[in-house]
Each structure stands twice: as C-alpha cells, then as structure tokens.
A and B are shown apart, each in its own frame.
Chain A
Amino acid sequence: MNSDLIRLSAFEQAELVRSKRISATELLDAALTQTAESEKQIHAFITICEKESINKAREVDRKIAAGEPTGPLAGVPYSAKDMFCTRGIRTTGGSGILRGWIPPYNAAAVERMGSADAVLIGKTNCDEFGMGGTNESTAFMPCPRNPHDPERVAGGSSGGSAAAVAAYEGTVSLGTDTGGSIREPAAFCGVVGLKPTYGRVSRWGTIAFASSMDTVGPITRSVKDAALMMNVLAGFDARDNVTGRVPVPDFLSELKKDITGLRVGISPDFLNLTVLNDDGSPDDHPIDPEITDALMRAADILASAGAEVIWDVPMPNTKYSVPAYFVISRIEAYSNLQRYDGLKYGQRAGTHDGDMYDLFAESREAGFGHEVKLRILTGLFISRKEFYEKYYLRAQRARALIRSDYDRVFDPAGKYRLDLLLTPSTPLPAFRFDRNGTDPRLVRYADQFTAPMNFAGIPGISLPAGRTADGLPIGVQFVGNDYSEAILLRAAGVVEQALASQQEKV
C-alpha cells in the first residue's frame, strides 16, 4: 500500500486525503520511509525535517477531522530546494557559508505551499547558490545521483529536487531556474520542470543568484501536478517587486482545452549546439541524435492532435546566449554574494582578533566553494569601469537581441505567429560523473537551449519525451510568450498522454 501511495500524483494524493480515504500522516509516513530507503543511494537531500513534517501532517488531519476547509495540496509531501528560506529549518543554499543557518521566516513560495496544506519533508541539495549544472559544486557531499543511473549526474542546480521527485522521495518539489536549473535536471531525471515567466511567481525569501533572471517553479512527475502547483504558486506579491499584476488563470482547467490550431515552431538553431570561433563564425556541434528523434516524435504527436507544426523557424541569436549569460550572471552573482560576510548570519571563520576586513575575508575563504569564488572574481573583474561598456552593457544589449527573436516569432501579426516553440531541453542526456564518452563542448554549452528563456524572461517547460537506448530520460521543451504557461502546460499534457498511451501499447 505504501509504495502505491507514493507513486500517485499530487492531485490524486490530495483527493484521497481530503476524502478521508487516507490520512496525511499515513501519506507522510510512506514518503519518509521511501526517502530514507532511496537516500542511501540518491543523496537528494541536505536536510530532512521529520518533526516539522509530522506536525504539519497532523494539522492537516485535524482540519479534515474538524470539517475545516483544506488547501489543494492537502497532505501532499514535497521538498524545497535549499535556496528557499524555511522558518526554523536549516537553509544553506548548498554553501558552506550558510552551514547551519536557520532563517526566521519562510520564502513566499514555501508560505504558499503551506497555505495549500502541502507537507514539507526536507530541503534538497543543489549547486552552491544555484551556480552549476551538475550539482557537483555543492558543499554538502555526496552530491545527488541520477535515479536512472547513479553513475550519472542528476543535473543542476535543482538536481536534488529533480532526483527526489524521480525517486519518489516526496511527490513534488520547489526549484529555482536562472539559466536552466529547473529544466535541465528535470530532463536528466525524467520529470517535469516548469520555469515560469519572470515575475509570475514571487521569489521573496529565495536566496538570490542573478536577480534579473532568477525564477521559481515546480518540479513534478506529471504535467497535471505542475499545473496544480502553478495554481498555488503564481500571483502578484508586493514583496518581490518584479511580480506583475497579471491575471492568473486556473491552470488545471486550461489543461482540459485541446490544442487544435496551435502553431508550434521548430527551429534549426535548437537542433545544433553552436560555439562561436574567435572570428565570430559559428562552429556547429550536432546534438545527441536520440534527442532529435524524441523531438520529432513530439512534433508528430502535436500534429496528430491538431496543432500546426511550422518548420525552419529562425532563432539566429540563440548562439549568443552563453557568453551573454556568462557575463550578466557573474556580475549579478558578485553583487548578490557580497552580503555573506560572517557577521550578520552564516558561518564566521578566523580567530576574531583582526578587524572587520579580516573577518569578512577569512569567513568568505572558508565558507565559499571554488566555483563560487571563481564567479565572484569573474563578476568583479568584468564589472570594472573599463569593461562596463565592453562586456556588461554589451551583454545587456545582447539580451535585447535574444529577446527580439522571440518577439518576432510570437508576434500575432508577424510571419510566424507562433503559440509555442518546441526545442530539446538539453543537447545531451545525463552524463557520467567521470565524463567518459561525453563531448566536453556539449557539457560546457549544455545551457544553450535553456538560458535564452531566462534572458527573454519567457516561460519554458521540460517534459520527459522518451529514453535513449541506454535507458536514460530525454527531455523536450516548450517555450511560449510572456505569461503563456497555460498553453505550455496544455501542449505538454497532450504529448505526455500520447507517450503514455504508446508506452502502454508496447
């Protein structure tokens, strides 16, 4: 019974809890048991908050027994990437400098999940401050393993969240995405990951990495659960002043609509990984052919369901996303990381007999990992006065250029009039920790298909779309215009259902 319970969707679990067919406590017990067993191999979590989760599950059960209304995620066990502040529960950002830090407040997303009566079971591992695509930069080792092959990375930076959801350690998870950190691990671990429009979900109380691109979103095992979570998470919040006063649809109802007439574009610029040579000429690297095949299968499904597939949509500026992302993310990271000084919170190092500068320098040396130090120094260097125009301003202009690609293809009066783009989520499936058999350029530029959406501020969803011959998950991505998450979810739901039907026939 327990193993059946944890495999249900969040939607089904909440229905069972609300109808008293199972208790929240019983569901939590099943999730914690599974988590304890899986963690021996997966290492998705930094902290398991058993006591707090039991208290919350009992509160949900009490509400139900008393006939009080409960939220749409009643009793659903979930995890949160350790980038979300959780009141009374250790929050580290995957960094040694926050080892043992206990925030006095909850992040907005955690508040909303709590108000929806979801039960937080723990905080998942991540690359330090979200900086990485493999989870190997965390200060909390061992880093997460891919549940489909523990010799392979789970992806990052929300790798712990994706691995946890894939290994049934909780039903859904909260992730953050600055350049692909929800979608890439979701693709590697065979789950659904949605990066909403910039400003759709409040980031208040979320540890900042690169503030002009940081977003918060769901990681789930089904499209329907992603829609359910978006119903809970989306909406204006005055505490995050980039959230927009934009109507929030009922994402679950939107799933019921069909996709007849939707215009879905496929771009050749997302079927190769393009590295720029010193003279500016593009050097194309073919992506994994099994990923291209999966994308073509998804396109066939969409066409069969009544969508119109438009081929050869040019997205010529996609290839500039990696260097521009590199500059903006490092400068913003440098700025955001200046707050960690060993004084107000977090780890304090050194002998304490020096002055304030010594305290800062010793605490930051001891607390930050190698990758974070490199990003701080890079960000500091390229934000110097003499490079401001050459790099930072230029990257901000490249951002406008990249955005112009999307404005052009989503323009309802334009040549393409797309509702969606269909792209691979990643150029390769999950690779081995030792990188054996992997093209290093594909690894280095792995976020070329995800970072442009963070630049453009538009939403993207990665969903499982098959497996490689080795049994590794493949992810494809739908990308849409600002605040078009409902359309993304609808198209993703159609592909998910069709693939499930095909699987059943096999």
Chain B
Amino acid sequence: MDEVVGEALFAELVQTAAIDLQPDEAEALRKELNLKMEVIRQLEIIPLSDSISPVIHGNPYPPAIRCGLREDKWIPFDAPDAIVRQAPLSQDSFIVSPDVPHQRIG
C-alpha cells in the first residue's frame, strides 16, 4: 500500500502535536501510522445509507433524563493552594510559565 503520510506531512503533524521527537522515533512512528491507516481505511467500505446520521453517543439521551446545563455559579475550592502546588514550577501562588511564542500564520 502507498504511504499516506510522507516525511513532510509527518513533520507538520509532529509540530502541531507539540512532541519533540528524536529522528529515530519519528521515523518509527511515521511507519506505524501508515500501517494503522490500513485499518482506518476499512471504514470506507462500510455500507452506509444516506438515512444513517452520525451520532456522538451510542445511547439516546432524551431531555427527560438529561442533566441539563449547570448553573453558572462560582464554587470555591477548599484548598486553592493545592491546585497551584500541582504545577511543576510556581512562585507566590502563581504558576511560572516561559514566554508565549508568537507566529504570524496565513
């Protein structure tokens, strides 16, 4: 089977996924991704009539049982410091982050 994902396209995917892959691993993953496409391409042969609409859940979720929207209400957490403590780097109750890169697109 022809490769669906070539090296240039794969590099673009890796950039978008934000994973700093080493060259060996990148090539191995690219090959595996192309193999996986064989299974995914099987979708094309499923007979789907126009009457079949896409669904986002298998089971129906009628209004009678639906949760509904939550009230837009602020609920304080009992240990806010514990949330900040999860961050690998924090200072004075703030999460420390590097500069945000800016790139002109389009």
Contacts and interface: CB of A to CB of B under 8 A. Distances in A.
Contacts of A348: 88-89
Interface string B65-84: 11100100000010100110
A353 B89 CA distance: 13
B56 interface: yes
A485 to B, nearest CB: 13
A353 B17 CA distance: 21
A368 B100 contact: no
Contacts of B56: 212, 396
A381 B15 CA distance: 12
Nearest to A102: B86
A143 to B, nearest CB: 20
A487 to B, nearest CB: 16
What class of interface size applies to chain A in its complex with B?
35 or more
Contacts of B39: 322-323, 326
A394 B44 contact: yes
A328 to B, nearest CB: 9
Given A322-B39, A370-B29, A381-B13, A357 B65 contact: no
B48 interface: yes
B24 to A, nearest CB: 11
A400 B25 contact: no
Contact of B70 (A241, A244, A382): A241
B20 A397 contact: no
Given A102-B86, A362-B20, A245 B64 contact: yes
A104 B53 contact: no
A103 B17 CA distance: 25
B16 interface: yes
B67 A243 contact: yes
B86 to A, nearest CB: 4
B72 to A, nearest CB: 13
Contacts of B54: 393, 396-397, 399-400
Contacts of A344: 86-87, 95
A246 B66 CA distance: 9
Contacts of B19: 361, 364-365, 368, 373, 376-377
A355 B57 contact: no
Contacts of B44: 390, 394
A205 interface: no
A433 interface: no
B67 A365 contact: no
Nearest to B86: A345
B106 interface: no
Contacts of A256: none
A326 B36 contact: yes
Given A380-B13, A399-B54, A245 B40 contact: no
B88 to A, nearest CB: 4
Interface string A438-459: 0000000000000000111110
A209 B48 CA distance: 27
Interface in A446-491: 454-458, 482
A198 B58 CA distance: 8
A380 B95 CA distance: 28
B61 A374 contact: no
B2 to A, nearest CB: 13
B56 to A, nearest CB: 6
Given A238-B70, A245-B66, A396-B55, A343 B97 contact: yes
A391 B36 contact: no
A456 B59 contact: yes
A51 interface: no
Interface in A357-402: 357-362, 364-365, 368, 370, 373-374, 376-378, 380-382, 390-391, 393-402
6 closest Cβ contacts across the A-B interface?
A457-B59, A457-B58, A396-B54, A104-B82, A280-B45, A348-B88
Given A322-B39, A456-B59, 11 more contacts: A104-B86, A198-B58, A276-B42, A320-B42, A323-B42, A324-B43, A327-B43, A377-B14, A394-B44, A397-B55, A482-B60
Interface of A: 101-105, 197-199, 212-213, 236, 238, 240-246, 276, 278-280, 320, 322-324, 326-327, 334, 341-348, 352-362, 364-365, 368, 370, 373-374, 376-378, 380-382, 390-391, 393-404, 454-458, 482
7 contacts: A198-B57, A236-B67, A245-B67, A357-B18, A357-B101, A365-B20, A400-B54
Interface of B: 5, 10, 13-14, 16-22, 25, 28-29, 32-33, 36, 39-46, 48, 52-61, 64-67, 70, 77, 79, 82-83, 85-89, 95, 97-101
